Amino acid sequence: MLSRTAAFGHALRRATLSSTAVSESPTVISFDGAEKAETFAAFFDQGAPMWASMLAQANKVSPEGVPTKILDLGCGPGEPACHFATYYNNVPVIASDIAPTMVGLAEARAKSKGLGNVETMVLDMEDLSPIESESVDLVIAQMSYMFVPDKDKAMAETFRVLKPGGVLVANVWVSFELIPIAGGLMSAVVGAPSAPPAPNPNGPLSLADANVFDDYLMNAGFEFTSEHNFEGTFVGELGPLDDLQSFKMAALPVWDALTELEESGAHPDAWEKAKAAFPEVAAPYVNEESGGVTVEGAYRLAVAQKPMKSV
Ligand SMILES: C[S@@+](CC[C@H](N)C(=O)[O-])C[C@H]1O[C@@H](n2cnc3c(N)ncnc32)[C@H](O)[C@@H]1O
């Protein structure tokens, strides 16, 4: 629990940083590159409650019997693929991601868990052509649809590979405190924007509005199940304020932007400035009990089904 002082700081920080949400041009956010992927991997196990809730919701709506093939889209370092592969230990699970570094981490994770039923693939959600039409019973995707530029295409591809009656379980952020922290780091480099920046249509909050995601699902032909739009909350620790790894995690949403500012020469010290600003920007998020920076979030889970007879 946050102390009263820290909680007050939290509220204050939320208010002051709401206008400095990550400045986002409609650029594609990449998760590739060893350092970035490993920074993400160091914290991503904290998403375990989310992939557990994904399995619970999938089990509530899946048609009778055990699935014969599961596909994880945007698996990052290997989840929720490995979680599902552990539960359904005789069912083939494809763990896929567009970033080869992530696929390498997923392969290592499946191996370290002794999971012989996980196959890894580099796959772009917009083009699942290596996967046969109507060959998958269950598609799972944790926090990945938001980053795809052509979401209609990704959804159409998801629909295509599912069998009639097959289920899609996908979660997206509704809110996430990492975003204002990253916005604060960016402001420390380029200055606070005079007006709130337009949200990035390919950013972590791009599907925060349920109507927007529901439209993509309906346009592709999906029907909503009884569990559709289940909501949950997330709490994660970045680590101590003076820790380089905590800073790098906080910088993930603006990683490419900082690198671009540095490489273009516009702000040759962008990373150094962001790092110097981190202790002040993240201080209001320190949980006094753990001493670490704690970020909260809310997510929503789409639980949709391909109609038994596709139209
Ligand atoms: C926030 S991470 C989520 C990773 C993992 N599912 C988890 O639960 O932590 C988003 C992942 O989506 C992947 N991704 C982004 N765009 C993609 C695309 N077009 N096709 C496949 N994967 C994509 C990224 O490479 C990244 O690994």
Mean of pLDDT values over 78-103: 97
Sorting pLDDT into bands at 50, 70 and 90, what band is 64?
A: low
39-48, 178-187, 193-202: least confident range: 193-202
Give me the chain's average pLDDT, please: 89
Q: Which atom, in ligand 1's list, is nearest to the CA of 99?
A: 25
pLDDT, residue 6, reads 32
Q: Which CATH architecture has domain 4-305?
A: 3-Layer(aba) Sandwich (3.40)
Express each pLDDT in 69-80 by its tens digit: 999 999 999 999
pLDDT, residue 18, reads 31
Burial class (CB in 10 A: 0-12, 13-18, 19+), 192: middle
- The DSSP H or E segment spanning 39 is helix 34-43
Residue 85 clears pLDDT 90, i.e. is over it: yes
- The DSSP H or E segment spanning 105 is helix 100-112
Mean of pLDDT values over 100-106: 96
Mutate to test the pocket of ligand 1, among 51, 93, 98, 131 (most ligand atoms within 8 A of CB): 98
Express each pLDDT in 266-288 by its tens digit: 999 999 999 999 999 999 999 98
Centroid of ligand 1 to alpha carbon of 205 (angstroms): 14
Centroid of ligand 1 to alpha carbon of 144 (angstroms): 4
> Are the C-beta atoms of residues 285 and 236 closer than 8 Å to each other?
no
Nearest alpha-carbon partner for 177 in 9, 4, 5, 3:
9
> Are the C-beta atoms of residues 189 and 250 closer than 8 Å to each other?
no
Q: Residue 127 has what DSSP assignment? A: B
pLDDT, residue 63, reads 66
pLDDT, residue 12, reads 29
Q: Which atom, in ligand 1's list, is nearest to the CA of 75?
A: 6
pLDDT, residue 158, reads 98
pLDDT, residue 34, reads 86
**Domain map (residue ranges) of the chain:** 4-305
Ligand 1 is surrounded, with C-beta below 6 A, by 31, 44, 47, 73-76, 79, 97-99, 102, 123-126, 142-144, 147-148
Mutate to test the pocket of ligand 1, among 55, 147, 252 (most ligand atoms within 8 A of CB): 147
If one compares 26 and 128, the residue with the highest pLDDT of the two is: 128
pLDDT, residue 197, reads 74
Residue 11 clears pLDDT 50, i.e. is over it: no
Express each pLDDT in 208-240 by its tens digit: 999 999 999 999 999 999 999 999 999 999 999
pTM of the model: 0.90
Express each pLDDT in 128-154 by its tens digit: 999 999 999 999 999 999 999 999 999
Q: Residue 42 has what DSSP assignment? A: H
Sorting pLDDT into bands at 50, 70 and 90, what band is 306?
A: very high
Neighbours of 232 (CB within 10 A): 17
Centroid of ligand 1 to alpha carbon of 12 (angstroms): 32
Residue 111 clears pLDDT 50, i.e. is over it: yes
Question: Which residue's alpha carbon is at the smallest distance from atom 6 of ligand 1?
Answer: 75
**What phi-psi label fits residue 192: left (phi over 0), alpha (psi between -120 and 50 degrees) or beta?**
beta
Centroid of ligand 1 to alpha carbon of 97 (angstroms): 6
Sorting pLDDT into bands at 50, 70 and 90, what band is 26?
A: low
